[in-house]
Chains A and B, each alone.
Chain A
Amino acid sequence: MILFRQLLLTGLLAGLTYGAQAAPQTFDFKDPKGVNNAVFQLDAPLESINGSANGISGTVSFDPENPAAVSGKIIVTTASLTVPNPMQNTHLHGPNWLDAEKFPEISFEAKSLANVKTTDNVTTGDLTGTFTLKGVAKDLTVPVKFTYLKDKLGARVPKLNGDLLVIRANFAINREDFNIQPGQYEDKVSTTINLSLAIAGASPKP
């Protein structure tokens, strides 16, 4: 009878532990190391513009046992977009282009993940969500790669235990879809904006 009770208790504990592991984890993408970045590239016939943004924040709920259930929102501060030319930088943030004062955030809110493939700790899929730029929200489907790094938070941020989630995505948008100078300066500022996102989020554990 005692043995049966012990077996039952062990079973319950194992179940609870499995349940705890399988639950979705919340990853915070406010990076203390400032490494997270989004790169943008525009290649027009007369001019090529390359820059990056590091003002990244947001949270993502990710379950390594069920990656398809991913949800969350990633935010990029418009004012953090930087190009090496000071005049282009001023124009970029100004009212004619991104209007950083009126539209301080660029965001992507995940809705669903399709074509999910998982190998070891890497999951790829097509993520559908709402991309908001300059106040215009548009549904996009972008290929993404999730890399789940279990117990690796301590290697990155000393004295912290937990997991890391790396998200990588490469996709393109059309600036005219987001009311950014439609039909203007197409020879100097490409209508196609190539975006490349590489970000890491942390899920601390006690």
Chain B
Amino acid sequence: MKRGLQILALTSLLGTTGIWAGTGFNRGWTKTSEPVKTLDAVTGIEGITYRQKFLPGVDFLGAGAALAIGLAGTSLFFRKPSNTQ
């Protein structure tokens, strides 16, 4: 159990960091949409529409780290299984 929680904690930390880094190191808050600009050729106006896109931010990274700390902390309440011959 103890080892399982520690592995889960490490997976959580590495997983969230990996997703955050892999989507562009967004140092702002998590975004669920991103602006898309389109140029109107007649007027020269750049129109803005939003498309759905999940872009994890520092809150996502923080939540992953908090989960990892929680799991690692919980693992301390479990004893290491003793090897009895």
Residues of A within 8 A of B (CB): 33-37, 39, 47-48, 52, 54, 82, 84-88, 147, 149, 152, 155-156, 164, 166, 198-200
Contacts and interface: CB of A to CB of B under 8 A. Distances in A.
A34 B29 CA distance: 28
B37 to A, nearest CB: 10
B82 interface: no
B50 interface: yes
A35 B50 contact: no
A156 B35 contact: no
Nearest to A154: B42
Given A84-B34, A85-B29, A34 B47 contact: yes
B44 A87 contact: no
B29 A88 contact: yes
A12 to B, nearest CB: 36
14 contacts: A34-B47, A36-B45, A37-B45, A37-B48, A48-B28, A82-B33, A87-B29, A147-B43, A156-B42, A164-B43, A166-B45, A198-B45, A200-B42, A200-B43
Contact of B47 (A37, A84, A87, A147): A37
Contacts of A48: 28
B45 A199 contact: yes
Interface size class of B (residues with CB under 8 A): 20 to 34
A86 B49 contact: no
A59 to B, nearest CB: 17
**By CB atoms of chain A within 10 A, which of B35, B38, B57 has the most?**
B35
A158 to B, nearest CB: 12
Given A35-B40, A149-B42, A200-B40, A86 B32 contact: yes
A99 B28 CA distance: 24
Given A48-B28, A156-B42, 9 more contacts: A35-B38, A39-B48, A82-B33, A85-B28, A85-B30, A85-B31, A156-B43, A166-B45, A200-B43
Interface in B46-70: 46-50, 55, 57
Nearest to B40: A35
Contacts of B49: 34, 54
**By CB atoms of chain A within 10 A, which of B35, B38, B48, B57 has the most?**
B48
Contact of B50 (A36, A82, A88, A198): A82
Contact of A52 (B31, B32, B48, B57): B48
A188 to B, nearest CB: 11
A82 B35 CA distance: 10
B9 to A, nearest CB: 27
A52 B38 CA distance: 14
For the complex of A and B, the 4 pairs showing the least CB-CB separation, nearest first, are A35-B47, A84-B31, A200-B43, A156-B42
Contacts of B50: 82, 84
